[in-house]
Amino acid sequence: MRKGNYSGAPSPCTCVLRGVFRACYQKFRYLVTQEKHISQARVEHTNGKEQRLAWGRKEEEFVADFAIVAKRVLSPGEHKIFRFHYLLGADWKLCCRQLKMERGDFFHEVYKIQEKLGRVMRELQPYALFPLDEYFGGAVRGAAPTRTPTVIEMPVLKRRRLDPPLRKVA
């Protein structure tokens, strides 16, 4: 955590945000390369007044959420770089040639994209993509344990919620 520029409020370092993105991207790549028949539907408990059960395929949901969040958050130019470099797997040389960019400009954009998506993937409401164990139902976030006083929680900044588009009713 470091002091904020203007408000003085602590905010995460950009290297931490890029690390969040890289962890999510690594999980995305792993899930995309898996064979399709390996995925399983799981029963999950839903929160709310009524305790209900819901079926879901967490692996497919994560892959879709990762791609949709990027499309919603990034500008068209940034999304084009994201699509070529991260989704299609082109190396920097091919991206620079296709996008007619210099190498330095390309990597500055890549770092900016990683930082922007890392922040959103951590702060997304109501279900963030990071930490991965919480997304996949392994652990639930609570207060930091008292025996480890060096743990610093990453603050969640208040931002506009990303809601799925609703179908128009005729």
- Domain spans of the chain, in order of start: 2-135
Is the pLDDT at 31 greater than 60, yes or no? Answer: yes
Choose the most confident range, by mean pLDDT, from 31-40, 72-81, 119-128: 72-81
Question: Residue 95: left (phi > 0), alpha (psi -120 to 50), or beta?
Answer: alpha
Cα–Cα distance between 122 and 20 in angstroms, integer?
Answer: 7
Alpha-helical (H) ranges within 35-150 are: 58-73, 76-82, 92-99, 103-123, 132-135
Tokens found for residue 95: 């991206």
**Do 112 and 120 touch, CB atoms closer than 8 A?**
no
Predicted local confidence at residue 29, as pLDDT: 92
Predicted local confidence at residue 148, as pLDDT: 52
CB atoms within 10 A of CB 162: 13
Question: Residue type at 113?
Answer: I
Burial of 104 (0-12, 13-18, 19+ CB in 10 A): exposed
Tokens found for residue 59: 């692996």
The whole-chain average pLDDT of the chain stands at 80
Mean of pLDDT values over 75-89? 93
**Do 80 and 51 touch, CB atoms closer than 8 A?**
no
CB atoms within 10 A of CB 117: 26
CB atoms within 10 A of CB 82: 22
Mean of pLDDT values over 115-122? 91
Predicted local confidence at residue 146, as pLDDT: 53
The DSSP 8-state label assigned to residue 85 in this structure reads: I
Predicted local confidence at residue 106, as pLDDT: 95
Question: Residue type at 74?
Answer: L
The residues, ordered by sequence, that sit 6+ positions from 144 with a Cβ below 8 Å of its Cβ are 151, 153
CATH code that applies to domain 2-135: 1.20.140
Q: Is the pTM of this model over 0.75?
A: no
Question: Residue 61: left (phi > 0), alpha (psi -120 to 50), or beta?
Answer: alpha
